[in-house]
């Protein structure tokens, strides 16, 4: 406290405003003396030195260019004459400086002018007798300077830039280029330097006046403010005293020896004493600390350390006025003067009793959480974001038949749950990386534990976020789903049974097809071309198409079924695989049943086919929906390709017609595109567009396949015409399409195509087939 009083009393004999004004005015006077008597005279010399350095540098750049050309001459790329010519041209074109009018000239050792950009009349002239206004033989002086040192500066008078007849003092830098016996020179007009120095001095004077004005204003302002400083100081002291006394923290001021100088009311209230009872006492002898000799000893050590400039911190258990234990987080900090000496110590204490209780409650909550996790029937673990296992519950340990210390603190993938098959480890490592990025990971895995059968686990990894949104750790969970595989086995048996039934029906239909094909061969002999067009088109081909589609769908389903069975045997089947197979099975079964029912219907109407080519029954259909059914029945034909089929048809278009005819027409068109049009093409496109015109229903079918020649287009609808003779083509497909469109549906069909441009069909049907 005495130090503060001494600090306040010092300097009271001199007014504050005068203490501010005297050094300020003195600084201004000294500044002006230095500026006008020292700095400004030195500006010109500094400017000239700067310009000299710039000229030296630019000349060095020019000689470097000449050295590059000289290198080409030494390598034999150009002759000496050509090299000197190029060098002169390069320097002739160089311009620099503020107005881009500074230049280089070249003389030889004679001296003779080799090149001057502004005085071309001097080129080639002997300059030994050339003098300036003062009679100086400047070029001989340049030769002599460079002969001694290789380079140097020369002062003389010369034509003012590019204005003939005007001469001013000039300072030039010249440098020899030994390989060609040249002297390279450039210069500056001292008139430019003087003008630039004058401009800088003028700016400096203006800037100085502005600074002096600002300093003067600041001085006046400082004097005014100094009068308020005393008042503010008193207010600051009052504010400090208010904060000190009313702080909710316990605060005291000690001497470096540990004597209490000041203590706030919060500290006094804790032990119910008044300030006079403790001020002047050693801190360890006060009621806060004198109940424990151990605590007193520890406090003495902390005060000793802090009196040496160190900060001490600890937590102590004290007693309040009621005898209750309180936990105090306290610290002792030294306050130093400008030379590092300890003036006094500040001791602060904060009641953390409530925080201690909260920590105890948190420990209880953690214990309860751990108990719940350990009792869970699911396999649970807590991981660091790098995959280190931090906690694991009893269920997981029991599954692996291990102890906690065998896996905790180690990478999760090193645990016994992931060792077989080996593919589980990289899968888990990838899952941990993704979970650490904030994703939730879920997998179904099959693991082989020691001397046990395969166990199927539904496993997940979830990130746990803190209040700030950052990931704290990862939660791993697992559920044993081995029993679920029993259901999958039952499903496999069901699929086998279904396959047997489909095979039985298919076998019957194949036998029927054989009989019909025999009948077809007999009709071919008896009725020739006309009978074949009717009978084969109406029976053999129509039955062969749905049966072929059915066989393909069933074969594909059988292939996928075998794949599922293999995964079950290998313990690799996941729920997603099962869902995918169910989708395929439903789709293939639906497609097979549609086509098998269609084939059965055609066989039943065999007699009518022979008479009028009419198959099936006339009924109302939604054309868009029926086209979708056709594509579904043919899906197995193009499912494994990149081909696309697009339908553009009004959703509400209803037709009163023969659905079987439409089935046969589009089946033939689409299969022809897939087999013929897209042969050798990986990704083709088919478009089916339906429009209702004023007098007809128009159907446009097109693909972007290989196309056909005009000769093939002319024969496209002829019976038995095919481009795949000997490779399974019968040549009846498009003939059947033509007969169905023209005879059955009463319409017309037109084909257009060209090589490499795809194929298109336009079908026109009577408007009266549109259902009202």
Nearest to 756, CA basis, from 656, 663, 677, 691: 677
- What CA dihedral angle connects 25, 31, 33 and 36, to 10 degrees? -130
What local confidence, expressed as pLDDT, does residue 359 receive? 76
DSSP letter string over 21-48? HHHHHHHHHHHHHIIIIIIHHHHHHHHH
Structure tokens at 730: 């019968």
549 in Cβ contact with 663 (< 8 Å): no
**Which tens digit of pLDDT belongs to each residue from 564-585?**
888 888 888 888 888 888 888 8
Please state the rounded mean pLDDT for residues 419-423: 84
Q: How many residues in total does the chain contain?
A: 772
Angstrom distances, CA of residue 38 to CA of 32, 33, 41: 10, 7, 6
- Measure the CA–CA gap between 721 and 724, rounded to whole angstroms: 9
What local confidence, expressed as pLDDT, does residue 8 receive? 38
* Long-range Cβ contact pairs of 196-199 (< 8 A, separation 24 or more): 196/47, 197/43, 197/44, 197/47
**Which tens digit of pLDDT belongs to each residue from 362-396?**
777 666 666 666 666 778 888 998 989 988 888 88
Please state the rounded mean pLDDT for residues 451-473: 83
Angle, to 10 degrees, between the axis of helix 575-604 and the axis of helix 623-638? 110
What local confidence, expressed as pLDDT, does residue 598 receive? 72
Q: How confident is the model at residue 551 (pLDDT cuts 50, 70, 90)?
A: confident
**Which tens digit of pLDDT belongs to each residue from 135-173?**
889 899 999 999 888 899 999 887 766 566 677 888 999
- Measure the CA–CA gap between 119 and 164, rounded to whole angstroms: 9
Q: How confident is the model at residue 10 (pLDDT cuts 50, 70, 90)?
A: very low
Angle, to 10 degrees, between the axis of helix 541-570 and the axis of helix 484-535? 160
- Measure the CA–CA gap between 246 and 291, rounded to whole angstroms: 26
What local confidence, expressed as pLDDT, does residue 534 receive? 38
What local confidence, expressed as pLDDT, does residue 618 receive? 82
Query: Residue 318 burial (CB < 10 Å; 0-12/13-18/19+)?
Result: buried
More confident residue, 678 or 208: 678
Angstrom distances, CA of residue 122 to CA of 117, 125, 127, 728: 10, 5, 8, 98
- Measure the CA–CA gap between 145 and 151, rounded to whole angstroms: 7
pLDDT greater than 70 at residue 236: no
When mean pLDDT is compared across 215-219, 339-343, 600-604, 641-645, the lowest value belongs to 600-604
Q: By percentage, how much of the chain surpasses pLDDT 90? A: 21
Whole-number mean pLDDT of the chain? 81
749 in Cβ contact with 759 (< 8 Å): no
When mean pLDDT is compared across 18-22, 112-116, 251-255, 267-271, the lowest value belongs to 18-22
666 in Cβ contact with 649 (< 8 Å): no
Angstrom distances, CA of residue 602 to CA of 84, 261, 655: 101, 115, 21
Spatial neighbors of 530 by CB under 8 A, at least 6 apart, are: none
- Classified as helix, coil or strand, 345 is strand
pLDDT greater than 70 at residue 60: yes
742 in Cβ contact with 682 (< 8 Å): no
**pTM of the model as a whole:** 0.30
Interior angle at CA 122, CA 121 and CA 123, nearest 5: 95
Nearest to 413, CA basis, from 381, 439, 370, 375: 381
Q: Which residues pair with 331 in a beta bridge?
A: 313, 348
């Amino acid at each position: 406290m005495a130090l503060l009083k001494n600090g306040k009393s010092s300097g009271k004999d001199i007014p504050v405003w005068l203490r501010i004004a005297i050094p300020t005015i003195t600084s201004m006077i000294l500044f002006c003396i230095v500026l006008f008597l020292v700095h400004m005279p030195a500006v010109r010399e500094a400017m000239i030195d700067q310009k000299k350095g710039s000229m030296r540098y630019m000349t060095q750049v020019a000689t470097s260019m000449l050295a590059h050309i000289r290198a080409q001459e030494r390598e034999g790329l150009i002759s000496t004459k050509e090299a000197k010519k190029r060098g002169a041209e390069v320097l002739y074109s160089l311009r620099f400086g503020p107005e881009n009018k500074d230049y280089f000239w070249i003389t030889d050792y004679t001296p003779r002018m080799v090149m001057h950009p502004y005085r071309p009349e001097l080129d080639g002239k002997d300059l030994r007798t050339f003098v300036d206004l003062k009679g100086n033989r400047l070029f001989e002086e340049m030769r002599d300077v460079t002969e001694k040192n290789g380079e140097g500066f020369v002062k003389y008078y010369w034509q003012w830039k590019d204005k003939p007849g005007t001469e001013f003092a000039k300072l030039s830098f010249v440098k020899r280029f030994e390989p060609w016996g040249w002297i390279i020179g450039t210069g500056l007009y001292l008139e430019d330097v003087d003008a630039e120095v004058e401009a800088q001095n003028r700016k400096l004077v203006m800037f100085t006046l502005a600074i002096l004005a600002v300093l003067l204003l600041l001085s006046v302002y400082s004097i005014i403010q100094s009068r308020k400083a005393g008042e503010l100081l008193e207010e600051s002291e009052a504010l400090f005293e208010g904060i000190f006394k009313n702080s909710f923290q316990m605060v005291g001021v000690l001497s470096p020896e540990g004597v209490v100088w000041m203590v706030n009311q919060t500290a006094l209230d804790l032990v119910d004493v008044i300030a006079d009872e403790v001020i002047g006492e050693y801190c360890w002898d006060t009621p806060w600390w004198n109940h424990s000799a151990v605590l007193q000893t520890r406090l003495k050590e902390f005060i000793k350390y802090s009196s040496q400039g160190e900060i001490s911190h600890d937590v102590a258990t004290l007693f309040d006025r009621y005898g209750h234990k309180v936990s105090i987080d306290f610290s002792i900090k030294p306050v130093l003067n400008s030379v590092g000496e300890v003036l006094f110590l500040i001791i602060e204490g904060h009641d953390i009793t409530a925080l201690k209780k909260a920590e105890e409650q948190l420990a209880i909550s953690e214990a309860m959480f751990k108990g719940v996790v350990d009792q869970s029937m699911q396999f649970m673990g807590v991981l660091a974001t790098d995959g280190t296992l931090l906690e694991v519950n009893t269920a997981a340990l029991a599954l692996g038949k291990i102890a906690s210390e065998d896996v905790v603190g180690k990478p999760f993938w090193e645990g016994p749950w992931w060792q077989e098959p080996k593919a589980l480890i990289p899968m888990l490592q990838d899952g941990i990386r993704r979970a650490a990025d904030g994703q939730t990971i879920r997998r179904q895995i099959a693991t082989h534990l020691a001397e046990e059968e395969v166990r199927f686990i539904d496993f997940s990894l979830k990130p746990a976020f803190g209040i700030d949104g950052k990931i704290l750790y990862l939660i791993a969970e697992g559920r044993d789903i081995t029993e679920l595989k029993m259901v999958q086995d039952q499903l496999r048996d069901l699929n086998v049974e279904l396959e047997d039934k489909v095979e039985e029906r298919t076998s019957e239909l194949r036998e029927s097809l054989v009989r019909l094909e025999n009948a077809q061969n007999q009709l071919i002999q008896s009725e020739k071309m006309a009978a074949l067009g009717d009978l084969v088109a109406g029976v053999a081909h129509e039955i062969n198409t749905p049966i072929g589609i059915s066989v393909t769908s069933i074969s594909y389903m059988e292939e996928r079924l075998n794949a599922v069975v293999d995964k079950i045997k290998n313990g690799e089947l996941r729920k997603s695989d099962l869902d995918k197979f169910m989708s395929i099975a439903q789709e293939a079964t639906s497609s097979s049943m549609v086509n098998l029912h269609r084939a059965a219907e055609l066989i039943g109407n065999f007699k009518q086919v022979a008479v009028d080519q009419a198959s099936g029954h006339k009924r109302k259909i939604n054309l868009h929906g029926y086209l979708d059914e056709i594509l579904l029945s043919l899906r197995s034909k193009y499912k494994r390709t990149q081909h696309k089929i697009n339908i553009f048809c009004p959703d509400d278009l209803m037709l009163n017609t023969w659905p079987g005819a439409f089935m046969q027409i589009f089946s033939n068109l689409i299969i022809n595109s897939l087999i013929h049009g897209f042969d050798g093409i990986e990704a083709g496109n088919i478009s089916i567009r339906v429009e209702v015109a004023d007098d007809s229903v128009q159907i446009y079918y097109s693909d972007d396949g290989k196309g056909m020649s005009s000769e093939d287009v002319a024969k496209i609808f002829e019976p038995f015409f095919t481009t795949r003779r000997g490779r399974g083509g019968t040549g009846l497909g498009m003939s059947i399409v033509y007969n169905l469109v023209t005879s059955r549906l009463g319409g017309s069909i037109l084909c257009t195509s060209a090589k490499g441009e795809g194929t298109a069909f336009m079908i026109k049907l009577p408007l009266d087939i549109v259902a009202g």
